[in-house]
Amino acid sequence: MKKIVTILGARPQFVKAAVLSNVINKYDTIKEVIVHTGQHYDNNMSAVFFEEMQIPKPQYNLNINGLGHGAMTGQMLEKIEEVLLLEKPDAMVVYGDTNSTLAGALAAQKLGIKIVHIEAGLRSYNMAMPEEVNRILTDRISNLLLCPTQTAIDNLKNEGFDKHPIKMVNSGDIMKDAVSFYGKLSKEKATVLQSEKLETNNFVLATIHRQENTDDIEVLKRIFEGLTEINKYQKVVMPLHPRTKSILSKHNLTYPLTFIEPVGYFDMLALLSNCSLVVTDSGGLQKEAFFNKKACLIAREETEWIELVKHGFAELVGSDSVKMVASYRQLLQKQHDFTMPLYGDKVAETIHEEIVKMINS
């Protein structure tokens, strides 16, 4: 039986990979070995997390975290290479744009192992973002680029990828499958609405964690000023990221928002499906808002998911507090056609089919 090694380093990657793992297990044509680099150390990622989320437990846990970009990527490269030499897979699968993604791809490339990049072709065109560097380099050394949208395909073609011996496929976005699968489970398992006494369509969900927002205190202040103004119209609920919490505390900044502890995926889906609107600087949450039929304000100057902005489901507001409030009022009143097929269908099935084709060719 053919074998693949899947490299994962952050909780969202595990959620996406679980959907593909289910399809792999259904067809039983590939053996999958999962490696957790440990990049995003998360107390919630216990044995209970894997059991409740129906995620296969990693066969390897490298426990590499809490380091700078260079040291982290270097240690991952070394340890992943050891796994690959031991497992001798036919291909490696990587997701997205983390340091784990790049380290996995580099290790495989050096050993002549084929690389599958899921969520390929995304671009923010902001090279100051570590994620942008990771995704561009991973795309360039991969063999199969599975793109979530036609925009991603176009990005690659504009960069000359069709001149390289690389296969590009518009597979759709695997997060769509994940939201559909876990959305049903979240109705049974989520408790956050009851514990926080939240009413459906009567609160705004906000998440802020990116370094470009948290590390510039003036930028962070402007974002929170905008959220504070929105809070006058509707309660703003924010699961507070540890980095953001630390910086607010360091500068003695307090705001009249409803701060809650970071939540698990079931609770996050419950918040998404029951809020009135989303404000975020997260890439993944922009799409999850769409999948949950919610408009989104993006607290960034650019987005990889330009189709959301193009079709009016989201607006880029950066750290402009005035624009944030104006866009909130506008989007809340606007009617949106969330049935628009932006991100494909039966995505995990398509991805599985393409991987099988590649390793058997």
Q: Is the CB of residue 227 less than 8 Å from the CB of residue 244?
A: no
Cα separation, 89 vs 301, whole angstroms: 40
User: 236: alpha, beta or left, given left = phi > 0 and alpha = psi -120 to 50?
Assistant: beta
**φ, ψ of residue 107 in degrees (nearest 5):** -60, -45
Query: In DSSP terms, which residues pair with 237 in a beta bridge?
Result: 205, 258
Cα–Cα dist 174/19, whole Å: 8
Structure tokens at 84: 């690959």
Quickly list H helices, the chain: 11-27, 47-52, 69-87, 99-110, 130-141, 150-158, 174-189, 192-195, 211-214, 217-230, 242-250, 265-274, 283-291, 306-310, 321-333, 347-360
Handedness of CA 134, 136, 137, 141 (dihedral sign): positive
Choosing from 36, 40, 117, 209, which is the catalytic residue? 209
- The interaxial angle of helices 242-250 and 217-230, nearest 10 deg, is 100
Cβ within 8 Å of residue 12, ≥6 positions away: 96, 284
Query: Is 251 among the residues known to form the active site?
Result: no
Contact 4, 90 (CB under 8 A): yes
Alpha-carbon gap, residue 350 to 359, rounded angstroms: 15
Q: How far apart are alpha carbons 207 and 322 in whole angstroms?
A: 18
**Distance of alpha carbon 260 from alpha carbon 198, whole angstroms:** 12
185 burial level (CB within 10 Å; 0-12, 13-18, 19+): middle
- C-alpha pair distances (Å), 337 with each of 17, 36, 312: 28, 38, 10
Phi (first) and psi of residue 225, to 5 degrees: -65, -40
Contact call for residues 311 and 221 (beta carbons, < 8 A): no
Q: Which residues does the annotation mark as catalytic?
A: 209
